[in-house]
Amino acid sequence: MTSKDVMFNGLRVGEAQRACVSPLKDAGIDEPVLEARLLVGFVLGGGPERVLMDRDEMLSDTQASKLSVVLAQRSGRMPMAQILGVREFWSLPFKVTSATLSPRPDSETIVEAALNHVSIAPATVLDLGTGTGCLVLALLSEWKNARGTAVDVSAETLSVATENAKVLDLSARVKWLQNDWTIEGWMESLGGPFDVVVSNPPYIPSADIAGLDADVRAYEPLGALDGGVSGLDAYRILCAALPRLLTNGGLAVFEVGIGQGDDVTTLMEQAGLDVIEQRQDLGGIVRAIVGRNTPH
Ligand SMILES: C[S@@+](CC[C@H](N)C(=O)[O-])C[C@H]1O[C@@H](n2cnc3c(N)ncnc32)[C@H](O)[C@@H]1O
């Protein structure tokens, strides 16, 4: 059965959830039962907990037609975060749209590494390629007196990040800058130097984009993914900039893709930083390269 065949009018909440499972399974969704509950919870308006509580209630006609729409979207592999419009990161809610990369749990490794390697809470943080703002806002939520500067090339992305800062009550401590690090002189408007620089730049080699899961390839912004032929284009620019961007003793934490840890370590070392950790994510994959700008 395809998602287009499913009609939800006249169904109870529990029946509607069960009816979503097989189209999701047929679309290749790994956890169809869980995702069916998320979709039904979304149309009910109270999240997945409402599905259990209201399982014997009838769906309204509006809820039934909304459920048909979101089921078709998810069966077409639209990412769940874009359907729900929100994704949790560092236990904080982040609005996401088709213009933003949805924050990934793996990227929490960057936040953990930054928190781990500073002994005194820093005063200034720079986030290069901020997307939803998840890295800089998670760090500002931990370092209560720090101020953030966050850069992205995409104006649409920055407007989502701005909304996220408002919801988290962090707007007063963060400055958003539309800036393109491939353009000469890009560092001039940033200010600084900064105590901490974080980045999760685009790092997928261009030739690998076609082989990504449909959820990512068709729905996430290409500008957030494509790292050039080797996947390392952004790292070459950003690592070389670190000595100018960091205070003496300042810390850089960069996310890397699978197998890129040693290349990015080399790029940071060539820029004159001491690489102090290659940090693994929960899956045991090197995910963050941590460098210190130690005066020599
Ligand atoms: C992989 S996403 C990371 C987003 C967010 N920091 C996160 O961790 O979820 C990379 C971000 O870098 C931005 N970006 C790509 N090229 C850029 C450039 N040349 N200058 C500035 N930002 C760029 C993209 O728009 C995107 O938001």
Q: What's the pLDDT tens digit per position in 103-147?
A: 999 999 999 999 999 988 999 999 999 999 999 999 999 999 999
Most informative mutation of 136, 153, 158 for ligand 1 (most atoms within 8 A of CB): 153
> Which letter does DSSP use for residue 265 in this model?
H
SS3 42: helix
Neighbouring residues of 191: CB distance < 8 A, sequence distance ≥ 6 = 149
pLDDT score recorded for residue 223: 94
Per-residue burial over 54-86, b if 16 or more Cβ lie within 10 Å, else e, is beeeebeeebbebbbebbbbbbebbbbbbbbeb
pLDDT score recorded for residue 2: 53
Q: Is the dihedral of CA 189, 276, 131, 129 positive or negative?
A: positive
pLDDT score recorded for residue 119: 87
Q: Cα separation of 79 and 62, whole Å?
A: 23
Residue 90 lies in a domain: no
CA of 100 to the centre of ligand 1 (A): 9
Residue 84 lies in a domain: no
pLDDT score recorded for residue 5: 60
pLDDT score recorded for residue 3: 53
Residue 85 lies in a domain: no
246 and 197 assigned to the same domain: yes
pLDDT score recorded for residue 6: 76
Q: Cα separation of 263 and 211, whole Å?
A: 22
Q: Cα separation of 106 and 27, whole Å?
A: 25
From the list 147, 153, 282, 168, the residue with the least C-alpha distance to 222 is 153
Residue stretches of the chain with pLDDT short of 50: none
pLDDT score recorded for residue 295: 76
CATH number for the domain harbouring residue 151: 3.40.50.150
Residue 147 lies in a domain: yes
Tell me the whole-structure pTM to 2 decimals.
0.94
188 and 284 assigned to the same domain: yes
pLDDT score recorded for residue 46: 85
**Residue 172 burial (10 A CB sphere; 0-12, 13-18, 19+):** exposed
The domain of 187 spans 98-292
Most informative mutation of 88, 90, 101, 174 for ligand 1 (most atoms within 8 A of CB): 101
The residue contributing the CA closest to ligand 1 atom 4 is 131
Rounded mean pLDDT of the chain? 95
| Number of structural domains found in the chain | 2
Residue 251 lies in a domain: yes
pLDDT score recorded for residue 88: 96
